[in-house]
Amino acid sequence: MNTTIAVKQVLDTTPLIRLKNCTMEFPGVKALDNVEFTLMPGECHGLVGENGAGKSTLSKCITGEHHMTQGELYVNGKKIRIPSYSIRESQALGISIVHQEFQLMSDMTGLENVFLGRYETKAGFIDWKALQKKISELIEFLEVEVNFNIPVKYLRTAEKLIVQLARALINDSKILILDELTAVLQEKDIQNIFRIINILKKRGIGIIYISHRLDEIFECCDSYTVLCDGKYVNSGKVKDINKPQLIKMIIGRELTQVYPPVNEKFGDMLLEVKDLTAPKAFRNVSFHVRAGEVVGIAGLLGAGKTELVHAIFSNHKLTKGKIFLKGKEVKIKNPKHAIQLGIGLVPDERRMLGLNMQFDIKDNTTLPTMRMFRKFKIFQDKNAEAKAAYEINKKLNLNYYSLWQKVSKLSGGNQQKIVIAKWMLKNCDIFLLDEPTRGIDIGAKFEIYSLINELTKQGKGIILVSPEMEELIGLCNRIYVMYEGVVMDVVEGERKTQEVIINSLLGVNEK
Amino acid sequence: MIELDFKEKTRRYSGGLKSFLSDWMILILFVALVTICMITMSKFRDPKNLFNIIRQASFIAIIAMGEFFVILTGNMDMSISAIIGMVSIFFAGFVVTMGAPVWLALIVVILMSVIVGIINGLLTIIGKMPSFIATLVVMNILRGFNFIYSGGLPISGLPQGFNFFGSGYVGVVPFPVILMFVIAIILYVFTTQTSLGRSFFAVGGNYEASKLSGINVRFVGILVFVICAVLTAIGALGLTSKTLAGNISLGDELLFDVMTIVVLGGTSLMGGRGRIFGVVIGALFLQVISNIMVLMGIATPWQWVVKGVILVTVVLIDSNTKRD
C-alpha cells in the first residue's frame, strides 16, 4: 500500500513529457522555434494555435516521426537520445497518437483492428478468447457501447474513433495525443469523448489535446500551451484565462466582432426548391433563398445535409421535387449544367472534392472558367487567366508566393479561399457552401465569414451547411434544421437560439 | 504598383536544381547515352544508323502518345496490341481480298478503331470497370475476331505505293519521322494551349473535383480511349506498310514497349502528370537502347531482360519519389 502511494507521488511530480528549447527546422522553414512543453500525469493539456502554428509538428517530435533539430526531450524524466528516437521507441515508452483520419482496416472487425499486429497466440494460433476478454474489460472501463465484432465500416464515425482509442489504450499508453479528433464529430459524441478523457485522467494518463474548437479547451482541458507561427507564446492553467484572452494569444491580436452584421436587404427570389426527395438521404425538403440572403442548414451527421446541396448541384440523384431558379423551373442535368445556371458548390472535402492538389493556384482558380479566356476561341490566353486569378485572389486576401505554386503547399484556409474564388470568378449567383470552415484556423474563419457577408451585399444567395450552431446563428437569416432527412423546423428571428435548434436536431419536435 | 505586384506573383516558381533534374531526368540520360555512344561506337554514329533509329521509333512513338492520354487520366489501355493486329489484318483484307481502294480501307479501319476506343471508354467510364480488366477483355475479343477473319494467316500483296507511309522519304527525312513530329506538335499544342487539353490533366489529377468544377468528365474519360485507339491505328498502318502485309500478331510484343516508353517519358501512373515530348524522348531512348544491343550482338531474349529491368527501375523511381 505504501509503495503504491510513493510511486504515485513520484509520478505526480515527474512530468510525463518535458520538451526543452525544441527547434525543428525543415529546409527553408523553421516550423518550431524554441518551444517549451510540459505534460503532467493525469492532466489534459490543450495545444492550441492557428493552422501552421506548429501543433502537428510538435506532436510528431514527441512521437518520433520527426527528429527535432535542437532541444531536449524527457519522457518520464528520462532523457531521450534524439538521433536514434523512433516511433517504435515512443510506442514502447507508452506514447500513442490518435488522428482524425481513420487508420483502420474497414473490412476487419473492431476487435481485429484493436489487436492488429499484436495478436496474442496460444500454440501458434490466435487466442481469440483472451483478446475478447481484454476488449470486454476495456469496454467496461470506458463505459461505451460499441460493437467490436462487426467490420468497422458498419460503425458510425464516432464509434470508429472509439475503436481507435481502444487500439491506443490496449497498448498500455501513458501518454495519449488526440489530434483534432472532434473535428468530425457531433456534439453528443464529443461529450462522450470528454467523458472518456476524464476516466483516463483519473488513471494518471496524460493527454495532449489538439483542437480548433476553443470551447472544448475550456470544457475538458486543465492546462494549455499556445503556439503562434512556430513560436511558443504562453502556457498555464485553463481556469486562469477566458476565451477572448486565449483568442488574443492565438492570433496575436484582439477580435472585437466575431460575426459581421447579417445583411437584411433582400432582392428577388433566386432559388426555390419544392419537395426534393432522394432515397436514403432526404425527403420532401422545401426551402427558398432570396438575393442577399444566407440560408443555413443544420443537422447531425447523416441528416442529409451534404446530399441535399449535392442534389441541388445535380451530383446526387433526385427522385422527386422541383427546382426553380429566379422563378423558372429548371431540370439540372449535371454539375456542368448547374454551373452554367450560376450555381457554385464549395464541397466539404476540400482536398478530395474542391481542389486538384497537383494543379497550381492559377489552374485551380480558373478551372471552371478557363473557357472564358481564349484566343480565337481555341487557345488559352494564359496571361489573361493569370490576371483574372491574380485579381480575384487579391480580393480574397489570399496569402501566397506565386500563382504557379501548387495548392497542396497552402494552408487549409487559403485553400478554401481558392475554392470560393473559383465561383466568384464564374460570377455565380448562388453559393452552396458545405462546411466552409471545416479544419481551418480562427483567423481564416473570420475572413470566410466576412467574405460571406460581402457576397450577400453583392446580392448573392448563400446556402450554408455547418455543424457549428454558433456559426449558423451568427451568419444566417434563416436556418432549416434537418433530422434524418426531414426538415424539422425553420428557425429565424428571435427563435435563432441554440436551444431551439438542438431540440430539432435531435428530433424533439415541439411545433 | 499593382502591375509590380502582379509581376511578383506570376514569377516562375522554380523548385531548384533537384526538381529540375527530376523533371528532365529522361532528357539528360538520353543526351548522355547518345553522347557516349557517338564517341565510342563508330557503327552507331553512322548517319544511316541514326536515321534508322528515329524512323523505327516513330510509329511506336505515335502509339505511345495515344497510350499517354489514357495513362494521363489514370487509366490503362491493354487492348492496343489487338487494335494493331485488327487494323493491320482488316486493312490488308479490305484492300487485297476485297479490292477496296486504299483511302476507303483507311477510313474504315480508323472508324473501326474509333468504335473499339468508344467501347473501351464506355466499359471503363460508364460501366465503372477497372480499365485494366475492361481493355484486357476487349483485347481478347478482338484477337478472336482477328483470327476468325484471317484464319491466322498473314495477308500480303498491298500495293507498292502504300510503302511510302512506312518507308518513304521527303527530301532526306523519312516520312514517318515527319509524321511523328507533326502529330507530337499538334498534341503538344492541344494539351498545353487548349481548355480541353487541360481537362485531361484535371480529370487525371482529381476526377471528382473536376466533375464538381463543371468539366464533362465522362466525355473526357471516353475521349482518351478514342484518341488512343486512333493513334494506335495510325501507328499500325505504318508498321503494316513496311512489310506490305497484314499480320494479326504485328502488335503482340509492342504493348510492353509502349508502356515502358510512356513511363520513361515521365508520365505518372497515378494520372494527372506527364508531357507529350517526354513520350517522344522516351520512344527514342528505348530505340537507342535496342539499337545498341543489336549493334553489340546481344540476343533478343536478353533484350527483353534489359527492357524489363529498365521499366522496373523507372517505375520504382516514379513510385518512390514524392512529388508535390
- A502's CB contacts (< 8 A; 6+ apart) are A187, A469
Count the domains in chain A: 2
Question: Does the residue A219 lie in any domain?
Answer: yes
Do A180 and A68 lie in one domain? The reply is yes
Chain A residues close to B5, C-beta within 8 Å: 394
pLDDT in tens, A138-196: 888 888 888 889 998 888 878 888 888 888 888 778 899 998 887 667 777 888 889 88
Closest by CA to A116, choosing from A90, A139, A135, is A135
Closest by CA to B220, choosing from A466, A344, A122, A336, is A336
Global pTM value? 0.78
- Is some CB atom of chain B closer than 8 A to the CB atom of A2? no
Strand pairing of A175-179 and A95-99? parallel
Separation in Å, CA of A428 to nearest CA in chain B: 12
Do A87 and A225 lie in one domain? The reply is yes
Q: How many whole angstroms separate alpha carbon A499 and alpha carbon A510? A: 12
- End-to-end Cα distance, chain B: 32
Q: Which cell goes with A142? A: 470506458
Say yes or no: ipTM exceeds 0.90.
Answer: no
Supply the pLDDT for residue A406: 86
Instruction: Pick the more confident residue, A215 or A455.
Output: A455
Show which of A427, A458, A481 is a domain's final residue: A427
Show which of A256, A283, A305 is a domain's final residue: A256
Q: Do B213 and A368 touch (CB under 8 A)?
A: yes
Question: Does the residue A90 lie in any domain?
Answer: yes
Contact A374, B195 (CB under 8 A): yes
- Is some CB atom of chain A closer than 8 A to the CB atom of B213? yes
Q: Do B194 and A379 touch (CB under 8 A)?
A: yes
Do A364 and A237 lie in one domain? The reply is no
Do A69 and A180 lie in one domain? The reply is yes
Q: Residue A431: how many CB atoms within 10 A of its CB?
A: 25
Contact B29, B36 (CB under 8 A): no
Show which of A395, A412, A427 is a domain's final residue: A427
pLDDT level of residue A121 (50, 70, 90 thresholds): confident
Residue from A26, A339, A356, A399 to probe the interface with B (highest B Cβ count within 10 Å): A356
pLDDT level of residue A1 (50, 70, 90 thresholds): very low
Contact A401, A390 (CB under 8 A): no
Do A69 and A203 lie in one domain? The reply is yes
pLDDT (mean) for A44-67: 85
pLDDT in tens, A238-289: 889 888 888 778 776 555 567 888 888 899 999 999 999 998 889 999 999 9
Residue from B9, B17, B23, B219 to probe the interface with A (highest A Cβ count within 10 Å): B9
Q: Do A404 and B12 touch (CB under 8 A)?
A: yes
Do A179 and A71 lie in one domain? The reply is yes
Structural domain range at position A409: 351-427
The SS3 call for residue B174 is strand
Give whole-number Cα distances, A173 to A165, A478, B87, B98, B320, in Å: 10, 47, 66, 80, 33
Supply the pLDDT for residue B13: 61
Supply the pLDDT for residue A510: 47
Instruction: Pick the more confident residue, B5 or A18.
Output: A18
Residue from A309, A358, A414 to probe the interface with B (highest B Cβ count within 10 Å): A358
pLDDT (mean) for A451-480: 90
Contact B85, B252 (CB under 8 A): yes
Supply the pLDDT for residue A101: 65
Separation in Å, CA of B78 to nearest CA in chain A: 26
**Which among B195, B210, B323 has the least Cβ separation from residue A356?**
B210
Question: Does the residue A147 lie in any domain?
Answer: no
Q: How many whole angstroms separate alpha carbon B150 and alpha carbon A69? A: 70
Please identify which residue in the block is written with the cell numbers 472564358.
A372
Q: Do A379 and B206 touch (CB under 8 A)?
A: no
Supply the pLDDT for residue A165: 86
pLDDT level of residue A493 (50, 70, 90 thresholds): confident
- A335's CB contacts (< 8 A; 6+ apart) are A313, A314, A315, A345, B211, B212, B213, B214
- B25's CB contacts (< 8 A; 6+ apart) are B266
Q: How many whole angstroms separate alpha carbon B34 and alpha carbon B45? A: 9
pLDDT level of residue A397 (50, 70, 90 thresholds): confident
Q: How many whole angstroms separate alpha carbon A459 and alpha carbon A265? A: 9
Supply the pLDDT for residue A161: 85
Task: Identify each DSSP E strand in A211-248 by its residue range.
Answer: 223-228, 231-237
H or E segment to which residue B9 belongs: helix B2-9
The DSSP output letter for A229 is: T
Indicate if the pLDDT at residue A229 is higher than 60: yes
Q: Do A403 and B214 touch (CB under 8 A)?
A: no
- B18's CB contacts (< 8 A; 6+ apart) are none
Question: Does the residue A334 lie in any domain?
Answer: no
pLDDT (mean) for A363-370: 92
Question: Does the residue A192 lie in any domain?
Answer: no
Average model confidence (pLDDT) across chain A: 86
DSSP per-residue string spanning A363-412: HHHTTTTGGGSEETTTEE-HHHHHHHHHHHHHHTT---S-TTSBGGGS-H
Q: How many whole angstroms separate alpha carbon A67 and alpha carbon A85? A: 7
Q: Please tell me the number of Cα atoms within 13 Å of A65 on its side-chain side.
A: 9
Do A38 and A178 lie in one domain? The reply is yes
Instruction: Pick the more confident residue, B88 or A470.
Output: B88
Question: Does the residue A178 lie in any domain?
Answer: yes
> Which long-range contacts does A148-156 make (Cβ < 8 Å, 24+ apart)?
A148/A109, A148/A110, A148/A111, A148/A114, A149/A109, A149/A110, A149/A111, A150/A109, A150/A110, A151/A106, A151/A107, A151/A108, A151/A109, A152/A104, A152/A105, A152/A106, A152/A108, A152/A109, A152/A110, A152/A113, A153/A106, A153/A107, A155/A110, A156/A301
CATH code of residue A61: 3.40.50.300
Contact A384, A448 (CB under 8 A): no
Q: What is the pLDDT along chain B (324 residues), one digit of tens a residue?
A: 566 778 777 777 666 676 677 777 888 889 999 999 999 988 898 988 998 899 999 999 999 999 999 999 999 999 999 999 999 999 999 999 999 999 999 999 999 999 999 999 999 999 999 999 999 999 999 999 999 999 989 999 999 989 998 888 998 889 999 999 999 999 999 999 999 999 999 999 999 999 999 999 999 999 999 999 999 999 999 999 988 999 999 998 899 999 999 999 888 888 888 999 999 999 999 999 999 999 999 998 998 899 899 889 888 887 776 554
Give whole-number Cα distances, A448 to A387, A393, A434, A457, in Å: 23, 13, 13, 14
Closest by CA to B139, choosing from B84, B102, B219, is B84
**Which among A353, A378, A380 has the least Cβ separation from residue B209?**
A353
**Residue A127, φ and ψ in degrees, nearest 5:** -90, 80
For chain B, what is the largest distance between any 2 Cα atoms, rounded to a whole number of angstroms?
Answer: 75
Indicate if the pLDDT at residue A300 is higher than 90: no
CA angle A384, A389, A395 (to 5 degrees): 130
Do A252 and A363 lie in one domain? The reply is no
Question: Does the residue A445 lie in any domain?
Answer: no
Question: Does the residue A215 lie in any domain?
Answer: yes
The SS3 call for residue B98 is coil
Q: How many whole angstroms separate alpha carbon A126 and alpha carbon A122? A: 6
Nearest CA in chain A to B189: A379
Q: Do B10 and A402 touch (CB under 8 A)?
A: yes
For chain A, what is the largest distance between any 2 Cα atoms, rounded to a whole number of angstroms?
Answer: 89
Closest by CA to A454, choosing from A397, A406, A375, A387, is A397
**Residue A14, φ and ψ in degrees, nearest 5:** -90, 125
Radius of gyration of chain B (CA): 21
Q: Which cell goes with A254? A: 484582439
Supply the pLDDT for residue A6: 44
CA dihedral A54, A56, A58, A59 (to 10 degrees): 170
